[in-house]
Amino acid sequence: MHMKATASKIILILSAVSSCCALAMDNGGRSVLVTGAGGQTGQHIFRKLLAKPGYAPIGTVRSEASRQALLEGTAGIGAADGAPAIPEESVAVCDITSDDSILEELLKGCDALMICTSAKPAPTGEIEEETKRPKFGFPNGQPELVDWLGQKKLIDAAKKAKTDIHVVLCSSMGGTNPNNSLNNLGKTVNTDGSSSGGDILKWKRKAEMYLVESGLPYTIVHPGGLLNEPGNERELCLGVDDKIPGTSNNSVPREDVANVMIAALENVEYRGRSFDLVSKPAGDGIVTEDYSKLVADLAGKNCDYSLGESA
């Protein structure tokens, strides 16, 4: 039974790849693999690319249940009123931590890879004795598995498929501070005094450095705190190394993160760049519309990976 299910899954994915790549070539456009398409930021990207002429995206999700929820518009951000249905052949089931051969098939013929997968913390139901705060864990995989090993598999598969695939990675701000509180999520103290698990920003930073050293064209975006609020309504600000001039705000709408990541596909100035992204509060400044100017204002600066720690 398991072998039959696996075979059916591969056939479905190969069909999706074939249809998507053919559509991209017919349109004279680009095929893009979007991982984490059932999540919130990833789904913004996936839906926007589906609506843009000249793009044929394939979105990946972890399970058949997630696939159905995405197709039905009940996952993540959900479908906006009047939004067209997502084509079934554009969504594939693929676990980036284990499905190596499927990843390679999905990436054949792709022009770009958008990595939007990350370990997701959730309350365990327990309380920390010292802080009296809820404990968090990673029920669908620790950061080492998802943010490092899974992303490494994606980068390796992309490089094997095509040496000029543009990889656009959604990461996180905070990586210059090893003591950032996000690194404590899901971390446990062992009986010998050592710790295990957690360290999400350190594992993300390791994957980022691996991508930079891979030789593939890349863009790495470090958003601040992610907001489930409408995009296209704020002035966006870029910086490096957790320092962003022009605002003290440290958050940004997910939709605006999606806009910047898509802009990276369309503006050569974004290639070979690693930067932080936040927005000014709604109503402050001038709404960002020129994404070429946005990155040009960085004046060539990139994040410095000698700062902070990687796992």
pLDDT average, residue stretch 222-242: 97
pLDDT given for residue 83 in this prediction: 77
Checking if the pLDDT of 1 tops 50, the result is no
E strands in 116-245:
122-127, 134-137, 166-170, 188-189, 195-196, 218-223, 225-227, 236-239
Pairing type for strands 236-239 and 273-279 reads antiparallel
Of the listed 171, 172, 274, 310, which one is catalytic? 172
The stretches of the chain forming alpha helices (DSSP H) are 2-26, 41-51, 64-72, 100-107, 143, 151-161, 200-212, 254-266, 291-296
Question: Catalytic site residue 274?
Answer: no
Is residue 20 very low, low, confident or very high in pLDDT (cuts 50, 70, 90)?
A: low
Checking if the pLDDT of 52 tops 90, the result is yes
Overall pTM surpassing 0.85 (yes/no): yes
pLDDT average, residue stretch 131-152: 93
